[in-house]
Structure formats: structure tokens, C-alpha cells
């Protein structure tokens, strides 16, 4: 046996640095192993599991197999040290979960088409719509099938203008000056199919006319918007048949509202039929601010409030559509300014310089019943 240099049964104690539970260092979480006196001047350490005062090891008074005393076990590692790596791993796991969750949220926002989660206080990102709504190409694709080319023949010649389909059975809105005095009217759809049209009603004071195709059905129609909601700076699209180029699309903004535009009041004599013609006739004359443009408006005129736009309008756009970015008709194109319109030769003049005018669609909607009733002015 190994002799101990300490008195039998004694065990060194830690000094106290505080009071009660606040003593430092704190007491271990397990009872310290006590030596066992085997005889005078001799002690041995009990086997593992004997710290609670009961037999450990083999269960016979601290003895192991064959009754031999067990070597003193190494004290277990402090629980404080065990908790630190566990806490660190937990923190890393939580951080990974947050990053992973944030990534999933962002991806979800980009693929859910507007369904964004705000769980966990995450700020939702901006989603990108997959629709073409709000683009020039989207508006053109949606509305181009509702815009037609109108060819009117009269004793004065032929003219070309545009029109907007408003009913599936072939009601079409256009300018009065496009069809005034016409003896026959041919309408070409966006598909290339041609129909003969009859005049239902005209309103020379508002420069509006309503015609109807013969034998038409199932046509795509243009939605009529609300021109009272139009604001300066709004983006717009114009579709028409300038110089006979069917389905031409231009775009711009609303430049001004409530322009007092004065135009010639067409009669049934057929005069001025070539004003929107392909054969080199002068452009549709109008007056603004006491000045006349694109020719003499004559003695018989009418004035209306117009939407001004810088979307390019040219001869043949008359009667076509001015459209907002929601794909709604907000005006019927009716007049445009050309810098070289006062040509003495009467030949074809230059194109648009960004001064175009359209009759507000609310003016049309207020006049539709009168036009359908066949009243003319």
C-alpha cells in the first residue's frame, strides 16, 4: 500500500472568497471523492461511483474484481466547458437558419408574382410583373386588332383615315372629316379582311362619326377609358394608318389638356376629302390661338377641347386611337401640326413635329346615343 503524507481521512479544502452561494470558485456539481482508510497510516481511493458513499465498481465496498481496490478516476470535465461548444454550435445553427430563411424569402418573393412574406420582420422586395401591361409593346399587342383603316370615296377623290372598333358586330368610331360626303366606305381590319361600311350617324360639331360594318361579328373591341383621369405627362400610345400604313404604332406623353382646337366643319359636298388622302392632298387644317395651321379652315368651323400629345400623328391617323398604358382608349386622334403645311404647290407636306390633338373619349361617350340614333349635325 502507498503511504499518505497527510493525516488519515483529511482532504485539502478550497479557501472561501465570498459568502454562501457567492463563494468563488463555485462548488463542483458533484461530490468530491473521499479517501478510504484501510488501516493505520494507509488510505486508498474508492472505485468510480463511490462518491455518493455507496460501493462502486464491482459493488463490494469499493473493491473491483477479485476484491482489489480501484484506482482513483479522473475527475469529469467541467460542465461549464461542455456548454460553451454546445452554445456556439447552437448560435451557428441559428445564424444559418436566419440566412437560409432570408434567402428563401427573397426567392419566394421573386417567384410568387407579388406574394411576399413579411414573417420575421423581413422587408419584402420589389416583385417584377411578368405581364406586358404598362408597356408600349403590350398595349400595341392588345389594341392593334381593334384599330382599322378606313378608305372613303367621294366625288372629290379618295381619303384614308382610321377608326376604332367599339362593338363586336362592327360599330366603328372615327372622325367626321374622314367620311364626310363619302359615297362608299371600305374598312380593312388588322387581319387584312375588308368590309363595306354604312354611316350610322355624324356630329360635325364634335368631328365625330359612327359607322357599321356589313356582315361583321365576333370582332375584338377596344375598351373606352375615362379622359377626366388623364394627366399631363401620362404615357400614351397612338395607333392608326398614316399614309395607308395600317397598324402603325407611335408613343409619347400627354403634353397638355383642354386645348381649344378649331377645325373645319365638313359638309356633305365632299370638299376636303383628300385632306387625309394618300394622293398628296393637304393635311387636316385646324386653328389654335387665333392662328390657322395646315391650310385654311374656311368659314364653317367648330371648336372642341382636345388632348395634346407628342406621340407622332400623320395624315391617315385621323379617327385612330390615343391609348393609355392600361390599354384604354382616352381619345380619338383628330388633328396634327406640320411645319411645312403651307406649301403653295399643295403637295404632300412633312410629317409630325410632335404637336398632335385628340378628342377626349368622354366627349365620344356622351355623344354615342346621338350617333346611334342616326342624328346628324
- The pLDDT assigned to 55 comes to 45
C-alpha to C-alpha distance for 266 and 298, rounded to whole angstroms: 10
Query: In the chain, pLDDT over 70 holds for what percent of residues?
Result: 53
Average pLDDT, the chain: 73
Predicted confidence (pLDDT) per residue in 253-280, tens digit: 999 999 988 887 764 433 333 444 433 3
Residue 310 · residue 255 · CB < 8 Å: yes
Looking at the annotation, which residues are catalytic? Answer: 177, 207, 318
**Rounded distance between C-alpha atoms, residue 58 and residue 68, angstroms:** 10
pLDDT number for residue 15: 53
41: left (phi over 0), alpha (psi -120 to 50) or beta: left
Q: Return the pLDDT at 285.
A: 73
For residue 160, is pLDDT > 70?
yes
- How does residue 147 score in pLDDT terms, banded at 50, 70 and 90? very high
Residue 48 DSSP class:
T
Q: Looking at residues 57-78, what average pLDDT do you find?
A: 52
Q: Which residue has the higher pLDDT, 258 or 63?
A: 258
| pLDDT tens-digit series, residues 302-358 | 889 999 999 999 888 999 999 999 999 999 999 887 765 444 344 445 566 788 999
Residue 217 confidence (pLDDT): 92
Of 335, 314, 345, 182, the closest CA to residue 243 belongs to 314
Average pLDDT over residues 171-191: 94
pLDDT score of 243 more than 50? yes
Q: What is the pLDDT of residues 212-233, one digit of tens each?
A: 999 999 999 999 999 999 999 9
**Confidence at 369, pLDDT banded by 50, 70, 90:** very high
Confidence category of residue 11, pLDDT binned at 50, 70, 90: low
pLDDT at 248 over 70: yes
User: pLDDT tens for residues 79-130?
Assistant: 555 555 555 555 545 444 444 444 333 334 444 444 444 444 333 332 223 4
pLDDT at position 371 over 70: yes
Residue 65 has pLDDT above 80, yes or no: no
Q: What is the CA radius of gyration of the chain?
A: 47
Cell numbers that stand for 187 in this block: 374598312
How far apart are the C-alpha atoms of 336 and 311, rounded to whole Å? Answer: 10
pLDDT score, position 367: 95
Q: Where are the beta strands (DSSP E) in the chain?
A: 36-39, 42-44, 147-154, 157-165, 171-174, 184-188, 194-203, 208-213, 235-240, 248-264, 286-288, 291-293, 301-309, 321-324, 329-336, 356-360
Amino acid at each position: 500500500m502507498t503511504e499518505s503524507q497527510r493525516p488519515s481521512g483529511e482532504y485539502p479544502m478550497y479557501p472561501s472568497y465570498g459568502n454562501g452561494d457567492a463563494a468563488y470558485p463555485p462548488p463542483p456539481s458533484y461530490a468530491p471523492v473521499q479517501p478510504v482508510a484501510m488501516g493505520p497510516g494507509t488510505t486508498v481511493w474508492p472505485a468510480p461511483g463511490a462518491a455518493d458513499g455507496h460501493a462502486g465498481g464491482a459493488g463490494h465496498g469499493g473493491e473491483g474484481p477479485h476484491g482489489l481496490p480501484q484506482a482513483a478516476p479522473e475527475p469529469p470535465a467541467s460542465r461549464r466547458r461542455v456548454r460553451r461548444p454546445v452554445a456556439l454550435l447552437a448560435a451557428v445553427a441559428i445564424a444559418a437558419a436566419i440566412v437560409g430563411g432570408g434567402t428563401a424569402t427573397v426567392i419566394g418573393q421573386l417567384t410568387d408574382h407579388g406574394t411576399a412574406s413579411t414573417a420575421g420582420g423581413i422587408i419584402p422586395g420589389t416583385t417584377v410583373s411578368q405581364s406586358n401591361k404598362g408597356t408600349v409593346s403590350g398595349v400595341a399587342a392588345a389594341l392593334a386588332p381593334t384599330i382599322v383603316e378606313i378608305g372613303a370615296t367621294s366625288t372629290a377623290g379618295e381619303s384614308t383615315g382610321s377608326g376604332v372598333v367599339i362593338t363586336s358586330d362592327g360599330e366603328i368610331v372615327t372622325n367626321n372629316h374622314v367620311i364626310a360626303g363619302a359615297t362608299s366606305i371600305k374598312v380593312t381590319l388588322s387581319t387584312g379582311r375588308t368590309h363595306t361600311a354604312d354611316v350610322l350617324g355624324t356630329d360635325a360639331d364634335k368631328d365625330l362619326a359612327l359607322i357599321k360594318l356589313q356582315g361583321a361579328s365576333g370582332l375584338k373591341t377596344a375598351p373606352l377609358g375615362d379622359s377626366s383621369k388623364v394627366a399631363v405627362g401620362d404615357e400614351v400610345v397612338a395607333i392608326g394608318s398614316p399614309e395607308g400604313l395600317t397598324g402603325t404604332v407611335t408613343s409619347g406623353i400627354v403634353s397638355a389638356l383642354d386645348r381649344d382646337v378649331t377645325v373645319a366643319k365638313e359638309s356633305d359636298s365632299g370638299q376636303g376629302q383628300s385632306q387625309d388622302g394618300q394622293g398628296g392632298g393637304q393635311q387636316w387644317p385646324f386653328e389654335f390661338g387665333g392662328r390657322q395651321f395646315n391650310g385654311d379652315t374656311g368659314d364653317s368651323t367648330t371648336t372642341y377641347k382636345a388632348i395634346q400629345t407628342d406621340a407622332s400623328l400623320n395624315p391617315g391617323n385621323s379617327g385612330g386611337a390615343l391609348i393609355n398604358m392600361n390599354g384604354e382608349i382616352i381619345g380619338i386622334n383628330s388633328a396634327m401640326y406640320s411645319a411645312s403645311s403651307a406649301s403653295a404647290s399643295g403637295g404632300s407636306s412633312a410629317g409630325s413635329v410632335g404637336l398632335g390633338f385628340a378628342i377626349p373619349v368622354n366627349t365620344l361617350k356622351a355623344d354615342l346615343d346621338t350617333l346611334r340614333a342616326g342624328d346628324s349635325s
